[in-house]
């Protein structure tokens, strides 16, 4: 819990009303879970433009881009099968866990965080993030 108590930020109401709604939350995390290339990142940029209180946006693409590359001595961390199914190794899971813990730590320090995620593993993927965000106020991410 952040020592200063509640955080305040403005969230836009439905576009047709053109009003804003004040949401009072502690340790806010906004989770956007949609398919790849569905506009999540554009929504994050628009939220950063509209909301009164600044927040940090983090996309799963950043985690993937920072993974060590495969090499002759190291297997790839993520493999896409010919059927389109993605498989990850144990090292990826460890790095993902650290990533989620880092995002939760930022939120615990009073910064509003938006997570742009793609839950390819369904419920198991959601559970991993839910575990990391335990005790934080999560907005969005219907399945969380």
Supply the residues annotated as catalytic: 61
Burial 115-139 (b: 16+ CB within 10 A, else e): bbbbbeeeeebbebbbebbeebbbe
Phi (first) and psi of residue 136, to 5 degrees: -100, 155
Phi, psi at residue 71, to the nearest 5°?
-150, 175
Distances in Å between the alpha carbon of 130 and those of 25, 66, 135? Answer: 17, 23, 9
């Amino acid at each position: 819990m952040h020592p200063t108590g509640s955080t305040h930020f403005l969230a836009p109401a439905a576009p047709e009303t053109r009003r804003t709604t004040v949401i009072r939350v502690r340790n806010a995390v906004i989770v956007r879970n949609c398919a790849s290339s569905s506009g999540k990142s554009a929504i994050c940029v628009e939220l950063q433009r509209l909301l009164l209180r600044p927040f940090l946006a983090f996309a799963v693409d950043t985690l993937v881009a920072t993974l060590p590359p495969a090499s002759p001595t190291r297997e790839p961390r993520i493999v896409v099968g010919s059927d389109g199914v993605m498989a990850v190794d144990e090292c990826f899971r460890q790095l993902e866990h650290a990533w989620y813990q880092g995002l939760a730590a930022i939120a615990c320090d009073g910064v509003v965080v938006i997570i742009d995620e793609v839950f390819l593993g369904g419920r198991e993927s959601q559970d991993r993030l839910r575990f990391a965000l335990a005790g934080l106020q999560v907005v969005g991410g219907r399945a969380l």
